[in-house]
Structure 1
Amino acid sequence: MTREEVAAIALAFPGCEQGLSYGRPSFKLNGKFFTRIRDEDDSLVLLEVGFDEREMLMEAEPQTFHITPHYKDYPSVLARIATLDPGSFRAFLERRFRKIAKKSVVKAWEAERRVTD
């Protein structure tokens, strides 16, 4: 993916906007951290990823998934943009969206998706 594709996927979620997290450009939803691109390694910070899942992802696709010491104690994983599948990225964001979006927004989003599917 490209950075533009990352932005298009993230901003397609209702309420997602570009902002700052800890002084760095990021995507926020409902005022909360959604994801961001790490300039250091051109990777995305993906939250809501349990430790077991993270280990499995890093073992199965080490060219895509990794962590740094900073993230080792958080339920998250880093994913290199160049090798991350867009559908997988969307699925990771959907998990986060369902957790931090307002329930009414999630319900409307789900209803809209049923109509278009």
Structure 2
Amino acid sequence: MRDWAEVVAIGGALPGVEQGSSYGQPALRFRGKTLAGTTAPDPGSFVLHVAEGEKDMLIATDPATFWETDHYRGWPVVLVRYGTGAGDRIATLLRRAWWDRATIAQRKAWGARP
């Protein structure tokens, strides 16, 4: 992911995802919840919602891409740096964030969790 526009292009292609805002900043939203947003404390990063337990693994396995601040500690979100070459992994995480918030019918239509 090079920038927010690329995040929007990938996340916005998911069924029902809309551009909106979170804390007054651009965000991708689905079923009233934020999937990703531009509220990161560094303009070279964005916020991505992840499943419980995934954040620590992401930060441990790719700290050049995934990180957190004290503000986000204890929340199921990770900060993601643009331009690290982890685009495929980030796209999968966006799809997982969508799938985790999808209805049963939407999950059945989509298939297994990415």
Find the structure with the greater CA-based Rg: 1
Q: Distance between the aligned counterparts of 1:32 and 1:59, measured in 2?
A: 27
Structure 2 counterpart of 1:10 = 11
Deviates more, 1:25-34 or 1:39-48: 39-48
Please list every run of 5 or more consecutive structure 2 residues that lacks an aligned counterpart in the other structure. Answer: none
One-letter amino acid matched to 1:67 = E
CA RMSD across the alignment: 2.1
Instruction: Confirm whether residue 108 of structure 1 aligns to residue 109 of structure 2.
Output: yes
Q: Deviations over 1:61-100 (max 9, x none)?
A: 2211110111111122111012152211121112211121
* 1:60 Cα offset (Å): 2.7
Q: Distance between the aligned counterparts of 1:29 and 1:48, measured in 2?
A: 14
* 1:13 Cα offset (Å): 0.6
Instruction: Confirm whether residue 66 of structure 1 aligns to residue 70 of structure 2.
Output: no
Q: Distance between the aligned counterparts of 2:100 and 2:107, measured in 1?
A: 9
Q: Which has the higher helix share?
A: 1
SS of the aligned residue for 2:10 comes to: helix
Identity %: 37
Please list every run of 5 or more consecutive structure 1 residues that lacks an aligned counterpart in the other structure. Answer: 112-117
Q: Distance between the aligned counterparts of 2:110 and 2:57, measured in 1?
A: 30
Instruction: Confirm whether residue 88 of structure 1 aligns to residue 94 of structure 2.
Output: no
Structure 1 counterpart of 2:22 = 21
Question: Contact (CA 8 Å) 1:19, 1:26: kept in 2 or not?
Answer: yes
The count of corresponding residues between Structure 1 and Structure 2 is 110
TM-score, scaled relative to structure 2: 0.81
Deviates more, 1:62-71 or 1:31-40: 31-40
TM-score, scaled relative to structure 1: 0.79
* 1:57 Cα offset (Å): 2.5
Q: Distance between the aligned counterparts of 2:97 and 2:109, measured in 1?
A: 16
Structure 2 counterpart of 1:48 = 50
One-letter amino acid matched to 1:16 = V
Question: Contact (CA 8 Å) 1:18, 1:26: kept in 2 or not?
Answer: yes
